[in-house]
C-alpha cells in the first residue's frame, strides 16, 4: 500500500464519517437559524434514533449480520427502516419542542439552552437505565461488496452512506428553497416578526424545523449503525461534539455550511487520525473549533450571526 493509497482510503472513510456529521449538524444549524437556540438534546435524539432503527430492523426479521439481502428486498428494507426511523425521531423532536422548549420561547438568556441539556441528560439516562450500557450488534442486511484492490477499497456500506446522505440533503435543499413552508422557514430565520406579519405561523415553523432536524438525526443514527455495525447509549456525545464543530465551521444557521462543515470534520478525523494518532483526534477537532472562532467567527461560509447586536 503506497502512501497515496492510504490517503485515498482515508478520504473515502472521512467523507463517509463526514456525511453522518453533516446530517447531524443540519438539525442543529436549522434550529439555531430559526430560534437561535443551541439544542444539546439533538445529539441524543440521534442516539435514540439509532436504537429506533435497530428495533425496526429487528422487527423486520434481521438480526446481527446473519441475514443478507440483495436487490429490491434490500432497498425495500432499508427504505422502510429509514422512513420509520425518521418519522419516529422527528416525532421525538416535536415532543421535546412542545413540552420543554415552547413554554420558554421569549425567555431571555440561557434558560432554553439549559433545558436542552436537561432533556439531553434525560434521553441519555433513560436509554442507559432501560436498555443498558452494552454495545449492541446493529442488524445489517447488506452483502459485503467491495470495489478495488488491496490498496484502496470502496465498500457498499460507504456507497450507501453517501447515497442516503446526498439524497436527504438534496431533499432538504429542495424543501427549504422551493416549497412554501421552506420559504416560511427562511423568512422566519431572517426576521421573525416580519414573517409573522406575512401570516407565517411561527410556532408551526419551529415545530416543523424540529421535526426535520430530528428526522435527519434519526437517519444519521440509522446509517451510523449500518456503517459501524453497532450502536450504544454513548454515541450521541462524541458524534455530537463533532457535529457541533461542523456547524460552527460552516457558520451556525447556515444549511449548506453545515453540510460542508460535516465533510470537513470527517476528513480531519480520518486524515488526522492517520497522520497523527487516533487518540488525539478530539484534540485536533477542538483546536479547529477554537481557531475558527478566533479567526472566522461567522464560520467558513457563514454570515453575520456572531455579534450580539
Partner 1 sequence: MVSPGTRTWSIGEALAAPFRRLSSDQQRWLILTLVVIGALVFPLIDRNEGDIDAAANATAFAVLALGLNIVVGLAGLLDLGYAAFFAIGAYFYGVTSSWQLHPEWSSFWEPFQWLGVVAHYQAMGENVVHFTLSFWIAMPLAALVAAFFGVLFGAPTLRLRGDYLAIVTLGFGEIVPIVVRNWPTLTNGAMGLNGVQAPSLFGYSFGVTSSPYYYLGVALIAFLIFVSSRLKESRVGRAWMAIREDEIAAGAMGVNRVKLKLLAFAIGAGFAGATGTFYVAKLQTATPDMFMFPVSVMILVMIVLGGMGSVYGVVLAAVILQLLQSWFLQDLSGWLHVLGRAVGNDWMQQIDLTQSIELIFGIILVLMMLYRRQGLIPATRATKALTLEQQTALPSRGTIDVDLRVVAPGELKPGTAMLEVEKLLKTFGGITAVKDVDLRVEPGSIVALIGPNGSGKTTLFNLITGMNAPDRGRISLLGEDITGLPSHLIVERGIARTFQNLRLFSNMTVLENILVGQHSHTKTGAVGAVLHTHAMLAEERETREHALEILSIFGNRLMPRLNQVAKELSYANRRRLEIARALASRPKILLLDEPTAGMNPAETIELAHQIKSLRGMGLTVFLIEHKLNVVNELADKILVLDHGEKIAEGTAEQVHAKPEVLEAYLGRKVAHA
Partner 2 sequence: MLEFHDVDTYYGELHVLKRVNYDIKQGEIVCLLGGNASGKSTTMKTVLGLVKPRAGTVVYEGEPINNMPTAERVRRGIAPVPEARRLFPRMSVLENLEMGAFTRNDSNGIAEDLERVYQLFPRVKERLKQQAGTLSGGEQQMVAIGRALMARPRLLCMDEPSMGLSPAFVEQVFEIIQSINKQGTTIFVVEQNASMALSIAHRGFVLQTGEVVLSGTAKSLLENEMLKKTYLGEMEH
Q: Contact positions toward partner 1, by CB under 8 A?
A: 36, 38, 100, 103-104, 107, 109-115, 117-122, 124-126, 128-129, 237, 241, 244-245, 248, 252, 279-280, 282-283, 286, 289-290, 293-294, 297, 305-309
Which contiguous run of DSSP H or E holds residue 230? Answer: strand 230-231
The phi, psi pair for 296, rounded to 5°, reads -140, 75
Taking the least distance from each CB to partner 2, the nearer of 71 and 109 is 109
Site for partner 2 in 190-229 (CB under 8 A): 190-191, 193-201
Told to check if 187 binds partner 2 by CB under 8 A, we report yes
Taking the least distance from each CB to partner 2, the nearer of 203 and 277 is 203
Taking the least distance from each CB to partner 1, the nearer of 169 and 252 is 252
Q: Each residue of 210-224: b (16+ CB within 10 Å) or e? A: bbbbbbbbbbbbbbb
Q: Which of 180, 307, 308, 309 binds partner 2 (CB under 8 A)?
A: 180
Binding at 184: pick from partner 2, partner 1, none (beta carbon under 5-8 Å per type)? partner 2
As a whole number of angstroms, the distance between CA 285 and CA 62 comes to 36
Interface stretch with partner 2, choices 14-22, 99-107, 115-123, 187-195 (CB under 8 A): 187-195
Binding at 195: pick from partner 2, partner 1, none (beta carbon under 5-8 Å per type)? partner 2
As a whole number of angstroms, the distance between CA 101 and CA 274 comes to 41
Residue from 114, 54, 86 nearest 210 by CA: 86
Residue from 243, 219, 237, 238 nearest 161 by CA: 219
Inter-residue contact 265 to 242 (CB < 8 Å): yes
The phi, psi pair for 132, rounded to 5°, reads 105, 175
Number of residues binding to partner 2, judged by CB under 8 A: 17
Residues in the chain: 309
* Burial status of residue 181 (CB atoms within 10 A of its CB: 0-12, 13-18, 19 or more): middle
Inter-residue contact 221 to 49 (CB < 8 Å): yes
> Which grid cell is 109?
438568556
Q: Which of 186, 274, 281, 305 binds partner 2 (CB under 8 A)?
A: 186
Taking the least distance from each CB to partner 1, the nearer of 155 and 305 is 305
Binding at 61: pick from partner 2, partner 1, none (beta carbon under 5-8 Å per type)? none
Taking the least distance from each CB to partner 2, the nearer of 146 and 303 is 303
Taking the least distance from each CB to partner 2, the nearer of 53 and 208 is 208
Binding at 36: pick from partner 1, partner 2, none (beta carbon under 5-8 Å per type)? partner 1
Task: Give contact residues for partner 2 (rule: CB under 8 A).
Answer: 180, 183-184, 186-187, 190-191, 193-201, 303
Amino acid at each position: 500500500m503506497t502512501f497515496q493509497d492510504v490517503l485515498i482510503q482515508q478520504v473515502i472513510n472521512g467523507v463517509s464519517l463526514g456525511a453522518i456529521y453533516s446530517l447531524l449538524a443540519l438539525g442543529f444549524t436549522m434550529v439555531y437559524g430559526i430560534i437561535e437556540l443551541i439544542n444539546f438534546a439533538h445529539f441524543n435524539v440521534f442516539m435514540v434514533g439509532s436504537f429506533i432503527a435497530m428495533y425496526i430492523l429487528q422487527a423486520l426479521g434481521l438480526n446481527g449480520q446473519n441475514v443478507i439481502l440483495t436487490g429490491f428486498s434490500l432497498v425495500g428494507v432499508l427504505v422502510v427502516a429509514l422512513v420509520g426511523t425518521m418519522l419516529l425521531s422527528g416525532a421525538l423532536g416535536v415532543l421535546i419542542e412542545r413540552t420543554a422548549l415552547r413554554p420558554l420561547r421569549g425567555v431571555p438568556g440561557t434558560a432554553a439552552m439549559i433545558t436542552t441539556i436537561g432533556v439531553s441528560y434525560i434521553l441519555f439516562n433513560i436509554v442507559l437505565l432501560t436498555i443498558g450500557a452494552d454495545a449492541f450488534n446493529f442488524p445489517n442486511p447488506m452483502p459485503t461488496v467491495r470495489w478495488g484492490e488491496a490498496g484502496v477499497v470502496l465498500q457498499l456500506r460507504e456507497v450507501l452512506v453517501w447515497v442516503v446522505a446526498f439524497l436527504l440533503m438534496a431533499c432538504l435543499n429542495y424543501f427549504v428553497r422551493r416549497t412554501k413552508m421552506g420559504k416560511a422557514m427562511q423568512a422566519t430565520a431572517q426576521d421573525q416578526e416580519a414573517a409573522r406579519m406575512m401570516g407565517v405561523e411561527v410556532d408551526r415553523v419551529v415545530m416543523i424545523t424540529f421535526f426535520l432536524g430530528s428526522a435527519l438525526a434519526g437517519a444519521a443514527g440509522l446509517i451510523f449503525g449500518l456503517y459501524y455495525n453497532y450502536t450504544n447509549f454513548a454515541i450521541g456525545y462524541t458524534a455530537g461534539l463533532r457535529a457541533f464543530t461542523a456547524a460552527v465551521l460552516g457558520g451556525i444557521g447556515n444549511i449548506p455550511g453545515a453540510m460542508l462543515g460535516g465533510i470537513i470534520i470527517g476528513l480531519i478525523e480520518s486524515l488526522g487520525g492517520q497522520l497523527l494518532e487516533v487518540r488525539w483526534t478530539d484534540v485536533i477537532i477542538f483546536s479547529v473549533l477554537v481557531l475558527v472562532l478566533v479567526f472566522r467567527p461567522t464560520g467558513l461560509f457563514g454570515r453575520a450571526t456572531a455579534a450580539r447586536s
